[in-house]
Amino acid sequence: MKDEKILNKMNISLPALSVNESVCRSVVGVFCAQLNPTIEELADIKCAVSEAVTNCIVHAYKNNGGVIYISTVLYNDRSVKIEIRDKGCGIADVKQALQPLFTTDPDGERSGMGFSVMETFTDKLSVSSRLGKGTKVTLKKRLS
């Protein structure tokens, strides 16, 4: 994707409110529709975005508000790169957080499968984070 030509790019930011999870999922899905993905590919993208945005709301900002930043890039090789970023609390140990069933909210209704879901529905997942500064989740997917 790095050497491919950018066809289009979108940047949005929304308050980290649970009602905006569906907005983020839908807006990214509509933007990606320019590449004429299959229904399954579109569902995969929307599911991964939903998980990343939910992580921002629930974990980064602890349901106390903040801003979710989303950058979506479409490439001429029919690939998509989506970055979901926050300026929340950050992740102390990214490697541990990427492990299935790990959660920082064991008493809540969280299963610790968010990153696993994102990984399942994309071709590549990367996560970078700094405590007190925030987290960036990058999702990459090549369409058929």
Give dist(CA 25, CA 45) in Å, integer: 8
For the sheet with 124-130, list strands across it. 6-15, 67-75, 79-86, 134-142, 124-130
Cβ–Cβ < 8 Å for 84, 68:
yes
Tell me whether residue 119 is one of the annotated catalytic residues. no
11 counts as catalytic: no
Task: Point out the catalytic residue in the list 55, 78, 83, 130.
Answer: 55
Which of 51, 78, 85, 130 does the annotation list as catalytic?
51
- Alpha carbon distance 103, 9 (integer Å): 33
Which parts of the chain are beta strand (E)?
Answer: 6-15, 67-75, 79-86, 124-130, 134-142
- Distance separating alpha carbons of residues 78 and 71, to the nearest angstrom: 17
Task: Clarify whether 85 is annotated catalytic.
Answer: no
Determine which one of 83, 110, 119, 142 is catalytic.
110
Q: Please list the active-site residues.
A: 51, 55, 110
